[in-house]
């Protein structure tokens, strides 16, 4: 995120970092990604760290309401720690525990903190096209992950995107003025322009959901967003960051972000004996776009100001709706996570 969190006192971050056995010399905001807020931390011994602050009021996929989202975030971070420590998955960039053993520390009723080791290497970009060799390397990571016994803390996932009911509600209120902020009315007008397309894609999503559920495939532990923006390439290969989306789901949840073409996922089949399901890939790619729409609709119907982040969100909203109107069941945006 380009802008600092709303109503957030950075002093509480300095104080909380001391609960991770740190004596920070510097804490500098890192305007990267889209969703969480990040700071680069240098400890008094010169060690670099990466602090991530989550806005629990905007983590619906982790739980409805800040308290439930905090519990969901803790489960996700504990899952990442278990995958790294119990299963030895070195590509999992997991949080370090605080002095009390917690992976996540509540800063107040709205914000929570997790601290990660600094990972040297080259970060990827969302939307970046991987070469065949790079794609196969990522598929090897995913095959390894999907073959693990899910930790007991692994959150379940649902096929219906969080917030989709809010989209249906908004589609029923297009005749009323939206007044949450500068993008409210433009968002209403844009949604009205694409209303027929969006309703049709929701019907398509329901049909795909019925088809995929009917196959009764077994879920595995998935990362949720293993796109290049969450990959760091170091000397020993790829590392995978941002595990707040980890959850039990079909393998296609991860694989759909690598390719929509099952033939490009042959390395995964070679390693696991499982051929990715074309309907499952289409389902999860469409789900991604509908989740984006739900997040943007909630954002622009609520109270908001004009900022670099809302400008970026508006660009993402228009691109996602154009993408859906073009008939693609693919992935349209995000600069991060």
Query: pLDDT tens across 25-74, in order?
Result: 999 999 887 779 999 999 999 999 999 999 999 898 899 899 999 999 99
**Distance between CA 331 and CA 168 in Å, rounded?**
21
CATH topology of domain 132-325: Transferase(Phosphotransferase); domain 1 (1.10.510)
Confidence grade of residue 272 (pLDDT, cut at 50, 70, 90) = very high
Non-local CB neighbours of 192 within 8 Å, separated by 6+ positions: 174
Q: Higher model confidence: residue 337 or residue 315? A: 315
pLDDT of residue 60: 86
Closest CA to 336 of 29, 36, 6: 36
Q: Where are the domains of the chain?
A: 10-118, 132-325
User: What's the rounded mean pLDDT across residues 277-304?
Assistant: 94
Say yes or no to pLDDT of 81 above 90.
yes
Which candidate, 149, 93, 139, places its Cα nearest to that of 118? 93
Average pLDDT, the chain: 92
Class of domain 10-118: alpha beta
**pLDDT-wise least confident of 127-136, 191-200, 222-231:** 127-136
Over 90: is that where the pLDDT of 333 sits? no
Identical topology for domains 10-118 and 132-325: no
Q: How confident is the model at residue 331 (pLDDT cuts 50, 70, 90)?
A: low
Cβ proximity of 280 and 155 under 8 Å: no
Instruction: Give the model confidence (pLDDT) of 89-101 as tens digits.
Output: 999 999 999 999 9
| Predicted local confidence at residue 337, as pLDDT | 36
- The whole-model pTM stands at 0.91
Please report, rounded to a whole number, the percentage of residues in the chain having pLDDT higher than 70: 97
pLDDT tens per residue, range 132-190 = 999 999 999 999 999 999 999 999 999 988 889 999 999 999 999 999 899 999 999 99
Strand (E) or helix (H) holding 41: strand 37-43
Q: Looking at residues 215-236, what average pLDDT do you find?
A: 94
């Amino acid at each position: 995120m380009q802008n600092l969190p709303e109503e957030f006192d950075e002093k509480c971050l300095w104080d909380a970092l001391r609960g991770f056995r740190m004596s920070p010399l510097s804490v500098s905001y890192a305007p990267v990604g889209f969703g969480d807020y990040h700071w680069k931390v240098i400890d008094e011994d010169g060690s670099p760290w990466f602090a991530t602050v989550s806005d629990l009021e905007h983590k619906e996929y982790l739980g409805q309401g800040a308290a439930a989202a905090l519990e969901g975030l803790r489960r996700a971070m504990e899952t990442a720690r278990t995958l790294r420590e119990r299963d030895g998955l070195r590509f999992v960039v997991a949080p370090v525990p605080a002095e009390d053993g917690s992976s996540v520390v509540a800063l107040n009723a709205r914000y929570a903190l997790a601290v990660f080791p600094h990972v040297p290497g080259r970060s990827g970009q969302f939307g970046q096209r991987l070469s065949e060799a790079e794609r196969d390397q990522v598929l090897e990571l995913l095959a390894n992950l999907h073959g693990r016994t899910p930790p007991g803390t692994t959150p379940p996932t649902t096929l219906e995107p969080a917030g989709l009911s809010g989209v249906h509600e908004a589609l029923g209120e297009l005749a009323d003025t939206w007044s949450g902020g500068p993008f409210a009315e433009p968002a209403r007008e844009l949604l009205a322009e694409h209303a027929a397309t969006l309703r049709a894609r929701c019907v398509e999503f329901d049909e795909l959901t019925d088809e995929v559920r009917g196959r009764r495939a077994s879920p595995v532990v998935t990362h949720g967003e293993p796109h290049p923006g969450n990959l760091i390439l170091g000397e020993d290969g790829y590392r995978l960051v941002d595990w707040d989306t980890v959850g039990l789901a079909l393998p296609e949840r991860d694989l759909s972000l690598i390719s929509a073409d099952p033939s490009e996922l042959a390395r995964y089949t070679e390693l696991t004996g499982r051929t990715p399901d074309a309907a499952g890939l289409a389902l999860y790619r469409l789900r991604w776009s509908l989740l984006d729409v739900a997040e943007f609709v909630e954002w622009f119907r609520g109270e908001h100001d004009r900022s670099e982040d809302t400008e970026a969100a508006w660009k993402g909203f228009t691109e996602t709706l154009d993408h859906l109107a073009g008939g693609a069941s693919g992935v349209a945006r995000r600069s991060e996570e």
